[in-house]
Structure 1
Amino acid sequence: HDVMGCFPPLATGPGLAYGSTSSNGTNLATQVGTMVFLTPQLEQQAIWNQINWQTAPQPWVGYQAWANQIPGLLCPSDTGLGPNTMTYTVGTATMTGYQGRNNYKVSLGTTTNDNQNNMTTTGLFANNGRSTMASIVDGTSHTLAFAEMCQGNTGNLAEVIGNRAINVAAGMATMTGYYNTGYATCTATSSGKFYTAAYNTNTGEMQGSRWNDGSAHYSGFTSVLPPNGASCFSTTPDRVWGIFTPSSRHPGGAIAAFADGSTRFVPETIDVMVWQSMGTVQGSEAIDNALAN
């Protein structure tokens, strides 16, 4: 923010005009995520210099910049999945390559429906959006910016932490406030620490598998369900909207970073209304610091 005068977007680039909600374009830069724009600040200038902004759309494999694993994007407490091996088909050609992973996501606030395309969310980040310190009416120390999320657990797809229920669009589309249909629908997909058999938790692309991808489920989180709660995708994985809940292998909660640069351990027992209020930038909620700790 000090360098550019604003926070980076969830996803954007020179191939996507400001104000456009389309995620498809003529070059790579239409789906580049927040962490890519932060590489110089993460002391990864060499990766930034590798990026060719006029490359064909979505070169997910065979592209050296994306194959790099940035150590600072991995949480030591996560079991990890190792390098993400991907197969990508263009015409008749099939390519196999690797992508680096990521445990840290940006806040989309409580926005759920179509949060992979919305240029505005209730949170600090949005697709092709830009926020400034002045945007944060609720105060920087009360507003979520980043949170950790487990990369995924292919060894136990039913585990709530790190995985997700899919095809849950119908009940989440009405997500507009506290304890509403979307909250209840996603909560009902799991029992305790596991998703119920009614929900297909297939592997697809795990949410920690593309550090560079600006799609909401790869780069964003929502403050709808408390940490370590269920995550719910509208359809099968790949450019979906939904509820993306922070998670960690730390006992009892997850670590979040706020817009003022501070970090805090957020317990999974946090009051839901407090948690949802922490995700909004202009909700005008009064948050008791004792409840937020």
Structure 2
Amino acid sequence: MELLIVVATIGLIVALLLPSVQQAREVSRRMQCTNNLKQLGVALHSYHDTFAAFPYREGGPGQHQFNGGAIAPFQRLSGYVSLLPLIEQGQVIEELKLTGLSKAPWESTYQPWKQSFALLRCPSSPEHFVQDGIGDANYAFCAGDSVETESLQPRGIFGLVDHATFDSITDGSTYTIALAERSFPSGQRDMRNVNFGSDPETPAECAVTFDPFSGYAKSNPAPGGRWSDGGSAFSAVNTCLPPNSPQCAYASHEAQNGFYTASSEHPEGVMCVFADGSVRFITDAVDCGNQGAQPVTTGASPYGIWGSMGSKGGNELGPGV
């Protein structure tokens, strides 16, 4: 009887302490995630200091097509390829120079693409459930508050072969998101996958395409995969749906317009780095305006404060903006 009491007491103590230990670990992981984003913010500023513009999210040599073109790499290289010298990855750059940036970003046998960088990974995130041999990244480039993520003139800072400048961020660098977290899907029915071919016109229409029991009708695990690939399904995020909501792509390929939603393993929100280099935690409860509205091409965002954080030139005015 005394032994049972001792065992029960130990079990009770462990049960009481475990949440505190887990919470402390998450605080540490979140701090490391914040540091990662701060370093990426510094890299973006250094790139702008050198070239008087930010890198594109998607670009490079060749002719852009959704699934390939006449000359590799089909303008599908991600912005991280441009940032490699600024995040202390000179060795990878030297390997890239040998091939003249001629390799498509999905070539899994190409050694530079196989590299995995701790700076691009949030410690809170588990491994991507699909491993194709190419390194992953938890941080995506913000294309704005529009589904036009493959645009030459994106609403946000990063788009297709588009080099934004500080001058083009008329809403102010303090209020405009540059990068946001995008968590890896953990299985085929995870909401963090992308629903391909659903063609929703509004965030609300995208949100209802996810079924918590069966997942999406046509689930694709691209989010967070291939740090080398600038295609929207891999490397873009927009501020239409609230953080940690469903996401949908038009048609059925990985370089296509759509709703690409920020997400993370941190409780109740996501980490973002803004154009001024500051890092802030944005909660899932952030004001997201009218979710039944279609995206706009000019003017203020219909998606509240969250939408205004994505657009670089919407001239929005409101609480916190």
Determine if the TM-score, normalized by the shorter chain, exceeds 0.5: yes
> Are 2:93 and 1:77 equivalent residues in the alignment?
no
User: What is the match of residue 262 of structure 1?
Assistant: 278
Residue 159 of structure 1 aligns with which residue? 190
Could you list the structure 1 runs, at least 4 aligned residues long, displaced by more than 3 angstroms after superposition: 20-23, 56-59, 196-199
Alpha-carbon distance in 2 for matches of 1:61, 1:5:
33
Name the residue aligned to 2:240: 224
Q: Which runs of 5+ in 2 are unaligned?
A: 1-47, 289-303
- Map Cα deviations across residues 193-232 of structure 1 (whole Å, 9 max, x no partner): x3x6483243x44211110001011111010011101111
Report the AA paired with residue 118 of structure 2: P
Write the distance in 1 (CA, Å) between the matches of 2:129 and 2:195: 23
Structure 1 equivalent of residue 319 of structure 2:
288
Preserved CA contact (<8 Å) 2:136 2:226? yes
2:86 maps to what in 1? 41
Task: Name the residue aligned to 2:52.
Answer: 5
Match of 2:204 among 162, 166, 184: 184
Q: Among residues 133, 140, 147, which one is paired with 1:105 in the alignment?
A: 140
Higher share of residues assigned strand: 1
The 1:149–1:286 alpha-carbon spacing in structure 2 relative to 1, beyond 3 Å, is same
Q: Over alpha carbons, which structure has the higher Rg?
A: 2
Scaled by the length of structure 1, the TM-score of the pair is 0.81
What is the identity percentage for the equivalent residue pairs of Structure 1 and Structure 2? Answer: 28
Residue by residue, what CA displacement relative to the aligned partner does 1:65-103 show, whole Å, maximum 9, x if unpaired? 100001111111111227822xxxxxxxxxxxx100011
**Match for residue 247 of structure 1?**
263
Any stretches of 5+ residues in structure 1 without a counterpart? 86-97, 173-181
CA contact (8 A) 1:28 1:59 kept: no
Mapped to 2, the partners of 1:149 and 1:46 lie a distance apart of 27
1:9-63: per-residue Cα shift (whole Å, max 9, x none)? 01112335xxx78863413262111111111111111111211225354551210
- Aligned to 1:28, the other structure's residue is in SS state coil
TM-score of the superposition, structure 2-length normalised?
0.74
- In structure 2, the CA distance between the partners of 1:43 and 1:83, relative to structure 1 (3 Å rule), is farther
SS of 1:2 mapped into structure 2: helix
Letter in 2 for 1:53: G
Provide, for residues 130-184 of structure 1, a one-character-per-residue CA deviation record: whole Å limited to 9, x for no partner. Answer: 1000000000000010000012222xx3332x22322211x33xxxxxxxxx112
Specify the SS of the correspondent of 1:210.
Answer: coil
Corresponding residue for 1:274? Answer: 305
In structure 2, give the amino acid aligned to 1:230.
Answer: P
Task: Compare the two structures and name the one with the higher helix fraction.
Answer: 2
- Residue 159 of structure 2 aligns with which residue? 126
Is contact 1:149-1:247 (8 Å) kept?
A: yes
Q: Is the 8 A contact 1:77 1:249 kept in 2?
A: yes
Q: Number of residues paired by the alignment?
A: 256
Where does 1:171-210 land on structure 2 (aligned, <5 Å)?
A: 171-172=200-201, 182-190=202-210, 194=212, 197=214, 199-202=216-219, 204-210=220-226
Structure 1 distance, partners of 2:193, 2:106, is 25
